[in-house]
Amino acid sequence: MPVPFVYNPGMANYDFGKHPFRAANVSDLREYLQPHIDDGSIDVVASEPASDDLLLAVHSPDYIEKVLRLEKRSGHLSMDTWVAPGTPDAAKAVVGGAVKAVDLALGGEDVVLCTGGFHHAGVDYGEGFCIYNDVAVAADHALGSGARKVMIIDTDAHQGNGTMDIFYRSMDVLFLSLHQHPRTLYPGRGFAHETGDGDGTGFTVNIPMFPFSRDQDYEMAFERAVRPIVEQFDPDMMIRNGGADPHYRDQLTALGMSMTGFRWMGGAIREMAKGVDAPLVDLPISGYGDHAVPGWLQIWSGATGIDLTVPFDEGAYEGHPRFPGELVHEENEKMLDEVAENLKGRWDLL
């Protein structure tokens, strides 16, 4: 059975011009996948741009209006995010892709590949290169289409503040994020003590990773926290988002994951989803540098079990000028103790 890859050429128009975010990655990805499309292991599925109704499930009418107003004069939503002509339509194409991916997953596909993960957009704000939050719309759409419990695993180096805020009081959507420690990176949110509110208390899980965290730190966090929560929450839909910016060569971050780690991570999440009989929608988009698309393909190789990798020389981590060579495993161990303590009574972590 081919694995569906949801692709809408409109996604590639999500572009800010001279900016670290590189929309052309999406068309490069499409090209890299061509041999697998030709041999029948990947199936390209078209999607429609999201309707305003879908956006309104997550964003306020005032915000959507503001985006369209700003588009006319290329105005800013935040310091790093502006609305150039055409970007709201491209953002709608991105959201429509994620919604289509959810439909396919709920229709019986085990794993659905798409691009996206604009997790810094909230109900009434856009920032961090994000205009509309496709992850949140997708999760909300899953709930409206028969899923009872949705789990979002956000593995982007930056914490998903928009997604977190949208579901902070919800117990139907469990938002779990592993990200570079908020004291050291935008958006400065996602401390271990931010665990949700009201009915949603315990349904937001933040796992800050110290700068220079490596694959083995992520493996420990998965064993001690991610896996137990997946098993205990028992979702019927899983959405993973986050691209290649935890890689040690990333230009905007200071984490230390490798290509091998990405592949392991994609596989580990797929295995966990299988274990609870939930389909998985996988949405990468980030990565600042030429490791971005090769990194996504590593994650997807893990998630699909198909070798989609492309040759990429990541160089040696040891001796890399940006890394001091010190291990931060102990600090991460202590952080996981804190995460477990904060969630006591809701989830039993190791």
Residue ranges binding Zn ion (CB under 5 A): 156-158, 245, 286
Sequence-ordered list of residues with C-beta below 8 angstroms from that of 338, at least 6 positions apart, any chain: 192
CB-based contact 275:312 (threshold 8 Å): no
Give CA–CA dist 117/212, Å, rounded.
23
Nearer to Zn ion, 157 or 239 (CB): 157
CB-based contact 123:134 (threshold 8 Å): no
Give CA–CA dist 217/255, Å, rounded.
10
CB-based contact 255:317 (threshold 8 Å): no
Q: Within 13 Å and on the Cβ side, how many CA atoms surround 14?
A: 33
Residue nearest to Zn ion as judged by C-beta position: 158
Nearer to Zn ion, 159 or 195 (CB): 159
CA 253 to chain centre: 15
CB-based contact 142:283 (threshold 8 Å): no
Nearer to Zn ion, 137 or 244 (CB): 244
Nearer to Zn ion, 140 or 156 (CB): 156
Give CA–CA dist 11/230, Å, rounded.
30
In angstroms, give the least distance from the CB of 247 to Zn ion. Answer: 11
In angstroms, give the least distance from the CB of 287 to Zn ion. Answer: 8
CB-based contact 232:272 (threshold 8 Å): no
Q: Within 13 Å and on the Cβ side, how many CA atoms surround 100?
A: 23
Catalytic residue among 120, 158, 181, 247: 120
Residue 105 tokens read as 């997953």
119 is catalytic: no
In angstroms, give the least distance from the CB of 129 to Zn ion. Answer: 9
Nearer to Zn ion, 298 or 342 (CB): 298
Q: Among all residues, which ones are annotated catalytic?
A: 120
